Structure 1
Amino acid sequence: MKKRIAALILACVLMTVPVLAAENTADNFTRTRTYAGEFSDLTSDSPFYENVTALYEYGLTVGKGDGTFGLTDTMTVGQIVIFAGRIHSLYCTGDPEAGAAAQGGDGTTAEPYLHYLQAEGALGTELDGLLTTTATRAQVAHVLANTLPEGVLTKINDAQVTEGYASQRYITDVTEYTPYYQDILLLYRWGISQGSDETGSFYPDQPITRGAAAAMLTRLLDPELRLTLEWDVPLANSAVGTTLASLVEPGTYIASPQTEAEMDESVRYMLSSGDHTLTLSYPDISMIGARQKMQEALAVVKSYCEQSYNTVSCAIMPDGRLRMTFSAGGAGSRLEEYRTATMEAAIAVHDQLWESGELTASMTETEKARVYYTWICDNCVYDYGAGDESLSHIAYNLFCNGKAVCDGYTGAYNLLLKLEGISCTSLSNEGHIWTVAELDGQQVHIDTTWGDSGSQIDYDYFAMTPEESWQAHAW
Structure 2
Amino acid sequence: MKKRIAALILACVLMTVPVLAAENTADNFTRTRTYAGEFSDLTSDSPFYENVTALYEYGLTVGKGDGTFGLTDTMTVGQIVIFAGRIHSLYRTGDPEAGAAAQGGDGTTAEPYLHYLQAEGALGTELDGLLTTTATRAQVAHVLANTLPEEALPPVHADLVTQAYASRQFITDVTEYTPYYQDILTLYRTGVSVGSDAAGSFLPDQPITRGAAAAMLTRMVDPSLRATPDWDLGKESWSALGAAMGDLVPLGTYIAAPATAAEIDESVRYMLASNQNTLVLQYPSLSVTSARRVMEAALAAVKTYCEQCYNTVNCTYSADGSITLTFSAASAGDQILTYRDAAMEAAIAVHDALWESGEITTSMSDYEKAQVYFTWICDNCVYDYTAGDSSLSHIAYSLFENGTAVCDGYTGAYNLLLKLEGIDCTALSNNSHIWTVATLDGTDYHIDTTWGDSGPAPNYDYFAMTAEESWQHHSW
Distance in 2, Cα, partners of 1:349 & 1:36 = 47
Query: Do structure 1's residue 230 and structure 2's residue 211 form an aligned pair?
Result: no
Determine if contact 2:355/2:361 at 8 Å carries over to the other structure: no
Question: Where does residue 18 of structure 1 map in the other structure?
Answer: 18
After TM superposition, the structure 1 = structure 2 runs for residues 44-55 of structure 1, keeping only pairs within 5 Å, are 44-55=44-55
Residue 59 of structure 2 corresponds to 59
> Amino acid of the residue matched to residue 58 of structure 2?
Y
Correspondence for 2:324: none
Distance 1:25 1:150 in 2: 11
Larger Rg: 1
Q: Alpha carbons of 1:6 and 1:191: their partners in 2 closer, same or farther (altered >3 Å)? A: same
**Hey, what's the Cα distance between the residues in 1 that align with 2:164 and 2:44?**
33
In structure 2, give the amino acid aligned to 1:438.
T
Tell me which amino acid in the other structure corresponds to 1:178: T
Residues 348 and 127 (structure 1), Cα distance of their counterparts in 2 relative to 1, 3 Å cut: same
How far apart, CA to CA, are the structure 2 residues paired with 1:82 and 1:157?
A: 27
How far apart are residue 135 of structure 1 and its match?
A: 0.2
8 A contact 2:381–2:404 mirrored in 1:
no
User: What is the TM-score of this pair, normalised by structure 2?
Assistant: 0.54
Cα distance in 1 between the residues matched to 2:123 and 2:224:
27
Q: Is the CA contact (8 Å cut-off) linking 1:237 and 1:351 kept in structure 2?
A: no
Pairwise CA distance, 1:55: 0.6
C-alpha distance in 1 between matches for 2:135 and 2:97: 22
CA distance in 1, matches of 2:180, 2:230: 24
The amino acid of 2:204's aligned partner reads P
Matches of 1:226 and 1:163 in 2, distance apart?
20
Other-structure match for 2:179? 179
Residue 438 to residue 80, structure 1, CA distance change in 2 (3 Å): same
Judge conservation of contact 1:21–1:93 (CA < 8 Å) in 2.
yes
CA distance in 2, matches of 1:351, 1:422: 24
Q: Deviations over 1:276-300 (max 9, x none)?
A: xxxxxxxxxxxxxxxxxxxxxxxxx
2:75 equivalent in structure 1? 75
User: Do the aligned partners of 1:77 and 1:132 also contact (CA within 8 Å) in 2?
Assistant: yes
Q: Distance in 2 between matches of 1:35 and 1:99?
A: 25
Kept after mapping to 1: 8 A contact 2:63/2:70 = yes
Residue 69 of structure 1: SS of its match in structure 2? coil
The whole-number CA distance in structure 2 between the counterparts of 1:126 and 1:43 is 37
- What is the distance in 1 between the residues matched to 2:116 and 2:163? 36
Cα distance, 1:152 vs. partner? 1.5
CA drift of 1:93 comes to 1.0
Q: Deviations over 1:326-369 (max 9, x none)?
A: xxxxxxxxxxxxxx999745234997557866799xxxx99942
Give runs of aligned pairs for residues 398-437 of structure 1, distance below 5 A.
Answer: 422=400
CA contact under 8 A between 1:75 and 1:135: conserved in structure 2? yes
| Distance (Å, rounded) in 2 between the aligned partners of 1:116 and 1:183 | 20
Match of residue 201 from structure 2 = 201
C-alpha offsets along residues 423-468 of structure 1, whole Å, 9 cap, x if unaligned? 79xxxxxxxxxxxx6345899884128x69xxx789xxxxxxxxxx
* Mapping for residues 297-308 of structure 1, pairs under 5 Å: none
Aligned to 1:369: 378
Q: What secondary structure sits across from 1:80 in the alignment?
A: helix
1:341-352 matches, within 5 Å, as 344-348=357-361, 352=365
2:126, 2:218 → 1: CA distance?
24
Alpha-carbon spacing, 1:182–1:6, altered in 2? closer, same or farther (3 Å): same
Distance of 1:214 and 1:78 partners within structure 2: 15
The equivalences for 1:211-230 within 5 A come to 211-230=211-230
Pairwise CA distance, 1:60: 0.9
CA distance in 2 between partners of 1:34 and 1:174 (Å): 38
8 Å contact kept, 1:194–1:200: yes
Instruction: Using the TM superposition, give the Cα deviation of residue 25 of structure 1 relative to its aligned residue in structure 2, in angstroms.
Output: 0.8
- SS, match of residue 346 in structure 1: coil
The Cα shift of 1:160 comes to 1.1
Query: Please, what TM-score do these two structures have when normalized by structure 1?
Result: 0.55
Structure 2 counterparts to residues 10-409 of structure 1, below 5 A: 10-234=10-234, 344-348=357-361, 352=365, 368-369=377-378
Cα distance between partner residues in 1 of 2:354 and 2:72? 55
Over the aligned positions, Cα root-mean-square deviation in angstroms equals: 3.9
**SS of residue in 2 equivalent to 1:100:** helix
- For residues 13-70 of structure 1, what are the alpha-carbon distances to aligned partners after superposition, in whole Å with 9 as ceiling and x for unaligned? 3223211111111111111111111111111111001101111111111111111111
Change in Cα spacing, 1:232 to 1:37, as seen in structure 2 (3 Å) is same
Relative to 1, partners in 2 of residues 1:353 and 1:23: Cα closer, same or farther, differing over 3 Å?
A: closer
Aligned pairs, number: 293
1:438 aligns with 2:432: no
Identity of aligned residues (%): 71
SS in 2 for 1:104: coil
SS at the partner of 1:347?
coil
Whether the 8 Å CA contact 1:238–1:351 is kept in 2: the answer is no
2:208 maps to amino acid = I
Distance 2:141 2:108 in 1: 23
Deviation at 1:10, TM superposition (A): 3.9
How far apart in 2 are the matches of 1:238 and 1:18? 55
Residue 448 in 1 paired to residue 457 in 2? yes
Instruction: Tell me which residue corresponds to 2:292.
Output: none
Is the contact made by 1:161 and 1:188 (CA closer than 8 Å) also made in structure 2? yes
Give unmatched runs, 5+ long, in structure 1: 241-339, 374-419, 425-436, 459-475
- Aligned partners of 1:157 and 1:190 also within 8 Å: yes
- SS of 1:87 mapped into structure 2: helix
